[in-house]
Chains A and B, each alone.
Chain A
Amino acid sequence: QSVLTQPPSVSAAPGQWVTISCSGSRSNIGDNYVSWYQQLPGTAPQLLIYDNNKRPSGIPDRFSGSKSGTSATLGITGLQTGDEADYYCGTWDSSLSAVVFGGGTKLTVL
C-alpha cells in the first residue's frame, strides 16, 4: 500500500489529453513539492516534472503538473504512442522523514 494514491491505469486515444492524479496528505503533498516520473519498459525513470509544475530541460511542454491541497495532477496533451509508460508521483513526507512514491499509473495510448 503506497502512501500516495494513483489510479492503476488510464487510457486515451492518440492526440487526446489525459490526466493522472496523485492523492496524499498534509505531511507529504500538502507541505512539500511533488515530482513526476515516466518509466518506459526496461529503463530507469525519467523526471518529467519537479517542484509541482516545472519541467527539466528537454521535457516537452505537452507535459504539465499542478498541485492543489493534498493532491497533484500530471497532464499530458497531444498523446503519442511513445507516451505509453508507467508514471509515478513522488514527494517528501515530513512525518515519515522519507521520500514516498505513488504506486504508479500505466498509461495506454489506444
Chain B
Amino acid sequence: EVQLVESGGGLVQPGGSLRLSCAASGFTFSSYTMNWVRQAPGKGLEWISSVSRSSTNIHYANSVRGRFTVSRDNAKTSLYLQMNSLTADDTAVYYCARDITGGNGFHHWGQGALVTVSS
C-alpha cells in the first residue's frame, strides 16, 4: 500500500523558516517524480513544486521560487521542502503527492501538514 506521511508543520513567525518532510513507503520511491501541493484555509489547490526521480529536473511555482527548496533522498525514501522567508500567505495545509503509474495525475496524497505563519 502506498503511503505518504508529511511531518514538520507548525506555527512559525513571519520571516521564519520551516522544513517539511514526506516519508514514502509501499512503492519504489526512486521511480517517481514527487510534488508538493498546498491549500490555504478555505481556498483551492496550489501546486508549488516538483522534483524528478534523480532530482535532475526541479520546478517551482512563481509564488515560492527563490524562497522554497525541494529535495529528496531516495535512499531514505523521503521528500523535503525547505521553506524560508515565510509570510502569512504561506499559511496552508501542505501535501506531498505522487503521480499515478504510467499517467498524468496525482494519485497518491499524504494527509497534509498544516503550516501557520503568524506572529
Contact = CB atoms under 8 A, between A and B. Distances in A.
Interface of A: 2, 32-33, 35, 37, 39, 44-47, 49-51, 54, 56, 86, 88, 90-92, 96-104
Contact of B105 (A2, A50, A86): A50
Nearest to A33: B104
B65 to A, nearest CB: 10
Contacts of A101: 44-47
11 contacts: A32-B104, A44-B109, A44-B110, A49-B105, A50-B107, A96-B62, A97-B59, A98-B62, A101-B45, A101-B46, A104-B45
Interface in B80-119: 95, 100, 103-107, 109-112
Contact of A103 (B44, B59, B111): B44
A57 to B, nearest CB: 10
Give the interface SS of chain B, mostly helix, strand, loop or mixed: strand
A102 to B, nearest CB: 7
| Interface size of B as a range | 20 to 34
B59 A35 contact: no
Given A32-B104, A51-B105, A44 B47 contact: no
Contacts of A2: 44
A98 B106 contact: no
Given A50-B100, A51-B104, A102 B109 contact: no
